C-alpha cells in the first residue's frame, strides 16, 4: 500500500466529529487558499451542497451577503509584484456572484491585499498599500534589517472605501495616524510592509476595526477624522487575525501566537476582549495549548447559540466549541493543492488545504438552497 506523503491529509479529512445535540448546526463556507477559484459550501454532516466557480483564484476569502449572493475577493494574477510574498497575499478583484456563479458586478484595485468586505452603505472597504516616502520609511522601527522591498521601499497600509465603479471616496493611511515608533514591526517580519494589515471591518457605530499582524496591534478608526479611538497591542495580542465587533461591543479575535513573548511554546487562542481595557471576557485555548495552533491566517465567529466557530486556517481545520470550550463539530478541508514553485516564502511550498477564513450560516441565509 502506498503511503500518502502529505502529513495533514494522511491524518484524515472531511467530517471528523459532530455532537448534534450541542452544535448550532448550519452550513459552512470555505475557500481553499490554493484553489483555482472554487468556493465550497458543506452541510453540518460535511457533505458538499454547493460550489461557486470563478475564473480567478482567491485573493483570500469569500462570504455571503445579506441578499444570499456571494462576495468574493479574488486575485488578479496579472498585477504587479511588489515583493516576493505579495504574490501570495495580494488580491485586486472584487466580485458579487449569484448562486449560479454569474458575476453580477466587479471592481478592481491593483494594490489591494488581504481583507475586503461590503459596508452597510453598499460600498466596499478594502486594505491596500502605498509606498512610504523615504522620510516616513526611515521612521519605521523593527523588522528584519535589510529586508525592505526592492529599491529600499517600505509599503504602508491604507484603507480605502471604494464604490463598485472603482471610485475611492474615503482614505485612511496608517502612517498618517499611527506613530511607527509606537507601532513597530515584530523582529521576525520583513520591513517591506508596515504594519501589515490583515483585517478591516465595520463596527456598529460606523467606525472601523483594522488589525495589523506584523505589529500585533488592532485599532478602531473614527471615520469622521481618521483618529484612533482605541488600540490593543502586543501586550495582549500576537500576530492576530480577524478582530471584529460582537453585538455587545466586545471584540472577538483569533490570536495566532506565533511569536508570543510570554511563552516559549507557540499556540493559538481565540479571545473575546473588552477593547478599551484589553481585558479578556472569554477565551478558548486547547489542552495542552499547543494542540491548537495556526501560525498565520484563521478566524473565529460567534454563533447565535453562544458557540464559537473557528477556522484553524493554516491547517484547514474548522471546528465549533461551546462556551465551556468543548469541541462539538470538526471538519478538515479535503481540498489540497500547491501554490506552485517560487511563490512567496517556504510556507507556501507543497500541497496544502489552508483557508484564510471560514464562515457558518443558517439555512435562512441561503434562500436559494
b/e sequence 208-233, b meaning 16+ C-beta within 10 Å: bbbbbbbbbbbbbbebeeeeeeebbe
Domain extent, residue 81, equals 7-365
The rounded percent of the chain whose pLDDT value lies above 70 is 98
Q: Tell me, yes or no, whether 2 lies in a domain.
A: no
Q: Tell me, yes or no, whether 97 lies in a domain.
A: yes
How many Å apart are CA 206 and CA 210, to the nearest integer? 13
pLDDT above 60 (res 78): yes
How many Å apart are CA 300 and CA 246, to the nearest integer? 11
Write down the pLDDT at residue 1.
83
- Mean pLDDT computed over every residue of the chain: 96
Q: Could you read off the pLDDT of 177-200 as tens digits, one per residue?
A: 999 999 999 999 999 999 999 999
**Closest by Cα among 319, 260, 254, 240 to 283:** 254
Q: Tell me, yes or no, whether 266 lies in a domain.
A: yes
Rounded mean pLDDT, 224-250 = 97
Number of structural domains in the chain: 1
CB 328 within 8 A of CB 309: no
**What pLDDT band is residue 353 in, cutting at 50, 70 and 90?**
very high
The rounded percent of the chain whose pLDDT value lies above 90 is 93
> What does pTM read for this prediction?
0.97
Q: Tell me, yes or no, whether 1 lies in a domain.
A: no
Q: Tell me, yes or no, whether 185 lies in a domain.
A: yes
Write down the pLDDT at residue 337.
93
How many Å apart are CA 189 and CA 180, to the nearest integer? 15
**What pLDDT band is residue 347 in, cutting at 50, 70 and 90?**
confident
Phi, psi (rounded to 5 degrees) for 365:
-85, 0
Residues forming beta bridges with residue 330, ordered by sequence position: 17, 319
Neighbours of 162 (CB within 10 A): 24
Q: Tell me, yes or no, whether 91 lies in a domain.
A: yes
CATH number, residue 216: 2.120.10.30
**What pLDDT band is residue 340 in, cutting at 50, 70 and 90?**
low
Write down the pLDDT at residue 210.
98
pLDDT above 70 (res 52): yes
**What pLDDT band is residue 344 in, cutting at 50, 70 and 90?**
low
Amino acid at each position: 500500500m502506498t503511503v500518502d506523503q502529505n502529513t495533514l491529509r494522511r491524518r484524515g479529512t472531511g467530517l471528523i466529529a459532530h455532537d448534534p445535540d450541542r452544535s448550532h448546526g448550519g452550513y459552512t463556507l470555505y475557500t481553499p487558499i490554493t484553489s483555482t477559484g472554487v468556493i465550497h459550501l458543506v452541510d453540518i454532516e460535511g457533505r458538499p451542497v454547493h460550489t461557486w466557480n470563478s475564473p480567478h483564484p482567491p485573493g483570500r476569502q469569500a462570504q455571503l451577503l445579506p441578499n444570499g449572493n456571494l462576495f468574493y475577493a479574488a486575485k488578479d494574477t496579472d498585477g504587479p509584484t511588489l515583493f516576493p510574498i505579495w504574490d501570495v497575499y495580494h488580491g485586486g478583484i472584487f466580485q458579487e456572484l449569484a448562486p449560479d456563479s454569474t458575476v453580477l458586478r466587479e471592481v478592481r484595485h491593483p494594490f489591494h491585499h488581504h481583507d475586503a468586505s461590503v459596508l452597510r452603505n453598499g460600498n466596499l472597504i478594502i486594505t491596500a498599500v502605498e509606498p512610504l516616502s523615504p522620510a516616513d520609511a526611515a521612521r519605521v522601527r523593527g523588522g528584519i534589517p535589510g529586508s525592505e522591498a526592492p529599491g529600499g521601499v517600505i509599503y504602508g497600509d491604507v484603507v480605502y472605501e471604494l464604490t463598485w465603479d472603482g471610485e475611492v471616496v474615503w482614505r485612511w493611511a496608517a502612517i498618517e495616524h499611527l506613530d511607527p515608533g509606537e507601532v513597530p514591526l515584530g523582529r521576525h517580519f520583513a520591513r517591506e510592509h508596515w504594519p501589515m494589515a490583515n483585517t478591516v471591518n465595520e463596527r456598529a457605530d460606523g467606525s472601523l476595526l483594522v488589525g495589523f499582524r506584523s505589529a500585533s496591534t488592532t485599532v478602531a478608526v473614527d471615520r469622521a477624522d481618521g483618529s484612533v479611538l482605541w488600540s490593543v497591542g502586543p501586550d495582549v495580542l500576537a500576530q492576530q487575525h480577524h478582530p471584529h465587533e460582537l453585538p455587545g461591543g466586545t471584540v472577538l479575535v483569533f490570536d495566532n501566537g506565533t511569536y508570543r513573548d510570554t511563552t516559549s511554546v507557540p499556540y493559538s487562542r481565540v479571545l473575546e476582549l473588552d477593547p478599551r481595557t484589553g481585558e479578556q471576557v472569554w477565551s478558548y485555548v486547547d489542552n495542552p495549548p499547543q494542540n491548537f495552533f495556526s501560525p498565520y491566517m484563521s478566524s473565529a465567529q460567534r454563533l447565535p447559540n453562544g458557540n464559537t466557530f473557528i477556522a484553524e486556517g493554516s491547517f484547514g481545520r474548522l471546528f465549533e466549541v461551546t462556551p465551556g470550550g468543548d469541541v462539538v463539530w470538526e471538519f478538515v478541508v479535503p481540498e489540497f493543492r500547491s501554490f506552485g514553485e517560487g511563490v512567496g516564502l517556504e510556507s507556501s511550498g507543497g500541497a496544502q488545504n489552508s483557508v484564510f477564513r471560514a464562515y457558518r450560516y443558517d439555512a435562512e441565509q441561503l434562500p436559494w438552497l
